[in-house]
Amino acid sequence: MDGSAQLKKLRAALLTWFDRSARDLPWRMVDAAGKRDPYRVWVSEILLQQTQVVRGRIYFEHFVEQFPSVEALAAAPLEDVLKAWEGCGYYARARNLHKAAARMAAEGMPMTYVGWLALPGVGPYTAAAISSLAYGEARAVNDGNVRRVLSRLHAEAQPTAVWVQQQADTLLDPQRPGDWNEALMDLGATVCLPKTPNCPACPLTEQCAAFQSGTPKLYPLPKPAAKVRAVEAVALLIGDAECAYLEQRGGTLLGGLYGLPLEEGSIQTALPRLLERLSAHSPQLLGTVSHSMTHRQITLHVYAAQASQERQQVAQRPLSRLDHKALGLLPPQGAAQVRLL
């Protein structure tokens, strides 16, 4: 059998499997004409960047209910968008989603890979996914699932991004590009799993070099672990867990979210700076929380203090998990006994 016949067989095997085993996901809904809503496809793809499907699904349902269209999203305040994103992480996704929605509300929605790629928050993966799934353009996606499946298919233990894209481009079924992309990702997410590949359930074993090797789980090699930096910081709680003085964070880390005023550093160095900055006094240690964020391990000392800053309703603001933990040191129920004001 020559290469062309091998390719046809591979495509047929995976698409047949997909027609039977495709996951039932809310962003896969189609209209009477069999088309998907590009808006919903876009939102789902942004939400699923570095986020597992089971988790993204929960946010998706709520998000499209609150913001049912590009126009609705563009018209909403960024703070509302961040509130809907609260706890999901990588908040630049929400900021870019809002920025791109404003652009699309003014200039219209792109209908091609190149057009989508020009929008903030849309990279090669997302542009390929949207253009293939919503418009039928022949663009191959390259995500973590595709990387792992193709690494095993060809027994390439250390696949580069360029190599994966080339392989994906070659394999892509030009007749059904959207289905092909989802089939490859579904296979990676449900069968060709990182630690425990379920090869007996896989339609591609006959052509899979890693399966033939007998040790498919050795592909691909694990990526070097990210270095974790230990960070110590101090936060001030002025008010109580329900109504407190909050600051909006700038920069890229948790940018746009609100949180307790915070200074990086030890208690000795950061606490005085914090008290000075806020004209606060009488600090009392409420407790210490630890929070891990992929590349840093944060130890946060939380102090209650007295100051005249204006308080805000905590529940109305988008907060990070770190700030939720800090505020959790002072349960609303116990506030009456513990509160100092």
Q: Does 176 bind DNA (CB under 7 A)?
A: no
| Subset of 184-213 contacting DNA (CB under 7 A) | 185-186, 188-189, 194-196
Q: Whole-number minimum distance, CB 4 to DNA, in Å?
A: 28
Closer residue to DNA, CB minimum distance, 28 or 311: 28
Q: Does 225 bind DNA (CB under 7 A)?
A: yes
**Exactly one of 45, 137, 156, 182 is catalytic; which is it?**
45
Closer residue to DNA, CB minimum distance, 227 or 281: 227
Neighbours of 107 (CB within 10 A): 9
Q: Whole-number minimum distance, CB 127 to DNA, in Å?
A: 6
DSSP letter string, 254-283: TTT-EE--EEES-HHHHHHHHHHHHT-EEE
Phi-psi region of 336 (alpha: psi -120 to 50; beta: other; left: phi over 0): alpha
Q: Does 136 bind DNA (CB under 7 A)?
A: no
Q: Please give the structure tokens belonging to residue 308.
A: 């005249």
Q: Crossing angle for the helix pair 38-47 and 124-135, nearest 10 degrees?
A: 150
Closer residue to DNA, CB minimum distance, 139 or 283: 139
- Of 10-18, 46-54, 70-78, 236-244, which part binds DNA (CB under 7 A)? 46-54
Q: Does 177 bind DNA (CB under 7 A)?
A: no
Closer residue to DNA, CB minimum distance, 191 or 305: 191
Yes or no: say if 320 and 83 are a contact pair by the CB < 8 Å rule: no
Q: Does 175 bind DNA (CB under 7 A)?
A: no
Q: Does 48 bind DNA (CB under 7 A)?
A: yes
Kindly tell me which residue out of 33, 174, 223, 268 binds DNA, with binding defined by CB under 7 A. 223
The sign of the torsion formed by the CA atoms of 23, 27, 29, 33 equals negative
Closer residue to DNA, CB minimum distance, 89 or 272: 89
Closer residue to DNA, CB minimum distance, 77 or 251: 251
Radius of gyration of the chain (CA): 24
Asked about 107 being catalytic, the answer comes back as no
**How far is 80 from 61, CA to CA, in rounded Å?**
16
Q: Whole-number minimum distance, CB 279 to DNA, in Å?
A: 28
- Of 83-91, 102-110, 271-279, 329-337, which part binds DNA (CB under 7 A)? 83-91
Name the DSSP class of 336.
H
**How far is 317 from 312, CA to CA, in rounded Å?**
8
| Subset of 284-323 contacting DNA (CB under 7 A) | 291, 293-296, 320-322
Q: Please give the structure tokens belonging to residue 301.
A: 């000392």
Yes or no: say if 141 and 168 are a contact pair by the CB < 8 Å rule: yes
Yes or no: say if 37 and 54 are a contact pair by the CB < 8 Å rule: no
Yes or no: say if 122 and 146 are a contact pair by the CB < 8 Å rule: no
DSSP letter string, 12-28: HHHHHHHHHH----GGG
Q: How many residues bind DNA (CB under 7 A)?
A: 64
**How far is 320 from 273, CA to CA, in rounded Å?**
23
Q: Does 328 bind DNA (CB under 7 A)?
A: no
Give catalytic residue positions: 45
Which residues in this chain contact DNA in the complex, by CB under 7 A? 23, 25, 27-28, 44-45, 48-55, 87-92, 96, 120-127, 129, 143-145, 147-148, 160-162, 182, 185-186, 188-189, 194-196, 220, 222-223, 225-227, 251-254, 291, 293-296, 320-322
